[in-house]
Structure 1
């Protein structure tokens, strides 16, 4: 009897150990579009954390700053029955995938999320009362990056108005510096255009980009948006067409470019080049936008695996790790963002990040904390795509601003 019990105990122990090994060896296929220097460094933090927990990370990186190529790849994978464990998605697309019934909830890992996330962001991570996405960080979009040596060379200062901006751009041009380092891709053109929209005021942005109000979209202010964007276009260099965003950032880093409109992931590139805020470069709210904050939130959604409607242990571990204070801090330090959790200390962050956090808190209270239209955090992909096509066409041509405004108003009706 003792021998039998011992044998049974050994078998049970072996089975338990095998189960633990199997669990620990779970593979996590992860689709994302973080491929630049600063981005790669940031995502490696998560990969290393999961490796330490015994999970095998299978990286599926698809280049492209706005994620269009990644979303195409994701659709192909899901349709072929080979959905990744997790995929980088944001905004309304989270709800779209949830509505298709292919996601799993991660409530077991989200024990304190409601208390730690800004209410607006918390809502985006949920579907039908359940968490289906884990947010990484908050990126501010309405930044203007300036090479400090170039700024000192021309005797300028960070512009707070468009007249000041264009005066500085003229100084850069006279000094042989490309005034505006621009990457010629649709999402980069939208970054500039959206920022000009925001400069017309928080209420104008809300009505134009969130409400899609036709009266606002055809107003004299919207015409002014296109006229300002056209003037900015005149300060691009001839080689900007098709340029990746990080190459435009590199121009500001090396001083061949004076300024760049870009989200704060650009700071990850500065950090990767060992450049310091207020020493080598300046971060300033784009002209006319200091009292508002447009943001995008990167997040992972979690897909059903092998037909099972419950999250795997690995998916739950991944979600929990993403939202842990330690990871949130380290990820944002590398990425250039600020933690999405509200309880993470900002002591280790630089001046730009601290300003971003302070402005985030202020704008949340003043209701001028807005999701970014340009980065897919507001409207459906159909509406976003239609307006983006109009803006891109305008930014790469000599189209009349009045005609472009008419087209945007029509595009806003696309659902």
Structure 2
């Protein structure tokens, strides 16, 4: 689901050489092997992963690639479980959100507090992000990046043709949708897959209900909030969005929906910032050929999807040293810059210079810092950051059933979501 901003090969090579040189050759005396499980195997993702490899090799360590194809990581987790059970865990594995706590509870993750303290992670990360990386107060994982999920992507030409303005509220959204429809343009590009339905749903929940409602309903799974009049309004608004999608939406991949906006066939798409990679790859310029704006009603909030690496317990001083160097390298400013320039996401460090990033990334970074201070930085439930996988899956199923049903009322959906939320 996470697409990369594709940089030209020559520029990327220069980035890698610079990153490797800046990290330096410290630690050559205790060189070890570091095995890393990830599923960044395609295009810009593979290039971004190679930046990490170059960084570790610059420290004298041997990188052992444990790449498992498949964007969602399900197959990777199956392989990882069998490796851990057999006592042969990799040094690091791409795991995120509440799943980190589940692995840590099994007693298989390493405590990397010494690295975190030496590198001052507590002052470099928003507490809400740092807490995801900790188990019982100790760091067991390191964050790589931040994807903002609550984005609205728009085609300025389509809006100009329709005489509409990019919406900042849900009322403005429906007014713009009507004008786009009247101009013969599909108002909202959507892929009818349950995770895309859920991505739209959480944007509506945040925009209609606000941050505190979102936290209570979709992070704390508070039963009273899940059955409230506000939730009924969220569901009604969410279902109304469907009226402005096209009949070919069911089953469509997210990037094909993005392509509709790029071509001007559709006016808008609600999708995380990996969509930006599609615009960039098509040669489009932010602010000129496409508009990035917070989803309606969410300008002062930020739903985050953070990729991270869990650090597993390994044996041998050389492997432990390599693992700790890996953790430090991931959070280094040089790696954060080169990786995120290629991934299309933004650095997770709060004090990063954003000179080399595009306008959408700069807006995202400014809002990330501001919402970290205001308390409006919230985890994305649609992207595995907020609740257990069982609760997430159960709620996601209800949301898609409601989206696709002509018979289920908002009140029915509300009660079903509340029941699904008990699947902890």
TM-score, normalised on structure 1? 0.86
Displacement after TM superposition at 1:35 (Å): 5.0
Q: Does 1:88 align with 2:94?
A: yes
Q: Distance in 2 between matches of 1:256 and 1:64?
A: 27
Q: Distance in 1 between matches of 2:86 and 2:256?
A: 35
Q: Distance in 2 between matches of 1:186 and 1:36?
A: 23
Q: Indicate if the aligned counterparts of 1:136 and 1:323 stay in contact, CA closer than 8 A.
A: yes
Residue equivalent to 2:49? 43
Residue equivalent to 1:153? 161
Q: Does 1:170 align with 2:173?
A: no
Residue equivalent to 2:330? 322
Q: Does 1:55 align with 2:59?
A: no
Q: 1:266 to 1:76 in 2, by over 3 A?
A: farther
Q: Does 1:222 align with 2:228?
A: no
Displacement after TM superposition at 1:64 (Å): 3.1
Q: Indicate if the aligned counterparts of 1:194 and 1:373 stay in contact, CA closer than 8 A.
A: yes
Could you say what secondary structure the match of 1:243 adopts? Answer: coil
Q: 1:69 to 1:259 in 2, by over 3 A?
A: farther
Displacement after TM superposition at 1:120 (Å): 1.7
Displacement after TM superposition at 1:263 (Å): 1.3
1:194 maps to which of 189, 202, 211? 202
Q: Distance in 2 between matches of 1:36 and 1:249?
A: 18
Q: Indicate if the aligned counterparts of 2:41 and 2:67 stay in contact, CA closer than 8 A.
A: no
Q: 1:202 to 1:129 in 2, by over 3 A?
A: closer
Q: Distance in 1 between matches of 2:364 and 2:115?
A: 28
1:242 maps to which of 240, 251, 254? 251
Q: 1:91 to 1:166 in 2, by over 3 A?
A: same
Displacement after TM superposition at 1:108 (Å): 4.2
2:36 maps to which of 22, 26, 29? 29
Q: Indicate if the aligned counterparts of 1:105 and 1:311 stay in contact, CA closer than 8 A.
A: no
Could you say what secondary structure the match of 1:283 adopts? Answer: strand
Q: Indicate if the aligned counterparts of 2:206 and 2:213 stay in contact, CA closer than 8 A.
A: yes
Q: Distance in 2 between matches of 1:225 and 1:21?
A: 58
Could you say what secondary structure the match of 1:288 adopts? Answer: coil
Choose 190-199 or 236-245, whichever is displaced more: 236-245
Q: CA RMSD in A?
A: 2.5
Q: Distance in 1 between matches of 2:48 and 2:162?
A: 35
1:268 maps to which of 242, 261, 277? 277
Q: Distance in 1 between matches of 2:210 and 2:368?
A: 17
Choose 332-341 or 278-287, whichever is displaced more: 332-341
Q: Does 1:303 align with 2:303?
A: no
Q: Indicate if the aligned counterparts of 1:190 and 1:374 stay in contact, CA closer than 8 A.
A: yes
Residue equivalent to 1:185? 193
Residue equivalent to 2:21? none
Q: Distance in 2 between matches of 1:80 and 1:280?
A: 52
Q: Distance in 1 between matches of 2:411 and 2:206?
A: 19
Q: Distance in 1 between matches of 2:68 and 2:251?
A: 20
Displacement after TM superposition at 1:80 (Å): 4.7
Output one character per residue of 1:104-163: Cα deviation in whole Å (capped at 9) or x when no partner: 223343222112111221122122343211101122111111122222232322101222
Output one character per residue of 1:317-368: Cα deviation in whole Å (capped at 9) or x when no partner: 2212211101111222222222111121112222212212222222222221
Displacement after TM superposition at 1:223 (Å): 1.1
Q: 1:410 to 1:190 in 2, by over 3 A?
A: same
Could you say what secondary structure the match of 2:307 adopts? Answer: strand
Residue equivalent to 2:370? 362
Choose 267-276 or 285-294, whichever is displaced more: 267-276
Residue equivalent to 2:9? none
2:150 maps to which of 136, 142, 145? 142
Q: Indicate if the aligned counterparts of 2:236 and 2:410 stay in contact, CA closer than 8 A.
A: yes
Q: Indicate if the aligned counterparts of 1:304 and 1:311 stay in contact, CA closer than 8 A.
A: no
Structure 2 spans left out of the alignment, 5+ residues: 1-26
Q: Distance in 2 between matches of 1:315 and 1:69?
A: 24
Displacement after TM superposition at 1:37 (Å): 4.2
Structure 1 spans left out of the alignment, 5+ residues: 1-18
Q: 1:313 to 1:156 in 2, by over 3 A?
A: same
Within 5 Å, give how 1:369-388 maps onto structure 2. 369-388=377-396
Displacement after TM superposition at 1:308 (Å): 6.5
Q: 1:157 to 1:77 in 2, by over 3 A?
A: farther
Could you say what secondary structure the match of 1:353 adopts? Answer: helix
Residue equivalent to 1:121? 129
